[in-house]
């Protein structure tokens, strides 16, 4: 990861300027998370795990933020870690709380996520990214380290997990999980952005080939196993899910990742439907937010701002038959409970 360049899911570049029109017109690099403090059980970074102290800020459009949404649901942290959802569309100050009454987050009392960044570090030159965790008492950003946030939710917040929460990062499998996730990150999670925001044919072609080579590899891996590592859902599945669920809706056309759709790969299509239909996954996905964000914010590669009416989303709830491969989604645990009333998403049949 580079510490310079553009945050792909923000409206600002690393200089803090409006970057929507620049997508596809300059080399793409993903910025390193500048605020990498960790919230831990022992509070060694000065941020101890405490119920109700922190607020998770996400965009339902953003795959990196969606990881945290899935983890929070699976682990049952809704009461311990409150949730703020931004508008999928941005202005020149990036993520904003225009979905809330009076355009202000009701807990943080701010209109823009950038205000929490400013409270932490005045004059910070980088982009305003999600997911972000904010300390409610001080109003300061704690972390925007999207790679570490979910790992810490799984391993440092255990005292606040619901009864029956799954182990998403089991210690005996961590080396294998890390290896699998690294390839997925480089070529799939980040790969779609490398292709979509490429400014030269050469950069695009390189990213495109790596993306589909990795997708083919993952498809082969999943042909005879239900999950990526072990026989239960892990962090690796969460990270793959958030890209695959967006693939046909935005990456195939908008990012020119168009060799094949996920629906055209029988293994990946069954795998992603299996996860989508698992409590904690599909009930965090809002295709309306996803499509409007990508097609209306990335004006550098979609200057008209027209949002496609397709693809047909009716297949997401059809039988997948992956249960025939065995596996136990939650291991020795149980599914999460119903989605909180104020956290429900747009039903897939209404997009």
Count of Cβ atoms closer than 10 Å to residue 311 Cβ: 16
d(CA 20, CA 8): 10
DSSP label at 189? I
The residues carrying an active-site annotation are 62, 193
Query: Beta strands of 205-271 (E only): which ranges?
Result: none
Task: Tell me how many degrees the CA angle 41-178-219 measures, rounded to the nearest 5.
Answer: 135
**Contact call for residues 341 and 278 (beta carbons, < 8 A):** no
Tokens of 197: 């925001």
Distance CA 150, CA 143 (A): 12
Q: Strand 140-143's sheet: what is its strand order?
A: 82-85, 54-58, 132-135, 140-143
CA distances from 17 to 12, 126, 131, 222, 328 (A): 5, 9, 20, 42, 47
Match 């996520």 to its residue by tokens: 113
Asked if residues 333 and 164 have their Cβ atoms less than 8 Å apart, the reply is yes
CA atoms of 270 and 274, how far apart (whole Å): 6
Burial class (CB in 10 A: 0-12, 13-18, 19+), 74: buried
Helix axes 266-276, 201-221, angle to 10 degrees: 80
């Amino acid at each position: 990861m580079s510490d310079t360049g553009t945050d792909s899911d923000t409206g600002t570049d690393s200089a803090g300027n409006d970057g929507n029109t620049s997508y596809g017109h300059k080399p793409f690099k993903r910025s390193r998370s500048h605020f990498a403090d960790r919230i831990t059980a022992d509070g060694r970074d000065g941020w101890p795990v405490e119920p109700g102290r922190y607020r998770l800020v996400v965009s339902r459009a953003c795959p990196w933020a969606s990881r945290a949404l899935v983890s929070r649901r699976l682990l049952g942290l809704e009461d311990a870690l409150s949730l703020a959802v931004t508008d999928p569309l941005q202005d020149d100050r990036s993520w904003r709380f225009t979905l809330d009454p009076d355009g202000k987050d009701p807990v943080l009392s701010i209109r823009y996520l950038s205000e929490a960044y400013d409270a932490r570090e005045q004059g910070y030159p980088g982009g305003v990214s999600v997911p972000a965790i904010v300390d409610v008492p001080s109003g300061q950003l704690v972390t925007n380290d999207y790679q570490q946030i979910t790992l810490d939710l799984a391993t440092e917040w255990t005292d606040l997990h619901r009864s029956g929460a799954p182990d998403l990062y089991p210690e005996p499998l961590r080396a294998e999980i890390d290896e699998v996730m690294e390839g997925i990150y480089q070529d799939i999670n980040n790969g779609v952005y490398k292709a979509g925001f490429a400014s030269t044919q050469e950069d695009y072609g390189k990213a495109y080939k790596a993306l589909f080579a990795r997708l083919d590899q993952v498809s082969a891996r999943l042909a005879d196993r239900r999950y990526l590592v072990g026989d239960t859902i892990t962090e690796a599945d969460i990270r793959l899910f958030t890209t695959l669920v967006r693939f046909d809706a935005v990456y195939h056309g908008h990012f020119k990742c168009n060799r094949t759709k996920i629906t055209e790969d029988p293994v990946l299509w069954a795998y992603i439907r299996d996860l989508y239909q698992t409590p904690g996954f599909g009930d965090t996905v809002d295709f309306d937010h996803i499509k409007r964000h990508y097609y209306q914010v990335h004006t550098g590669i979609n200057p008209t701002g027209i949002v496609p009416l397709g693809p047909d989303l009716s297949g997401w709830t059809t039988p997948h038959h992956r249960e025939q491969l065995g596996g136990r989604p939650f291991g020795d645990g149980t599914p999460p409970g119903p989605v909180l009333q104020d956290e429900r998403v747009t039903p897939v049949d209404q997009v």
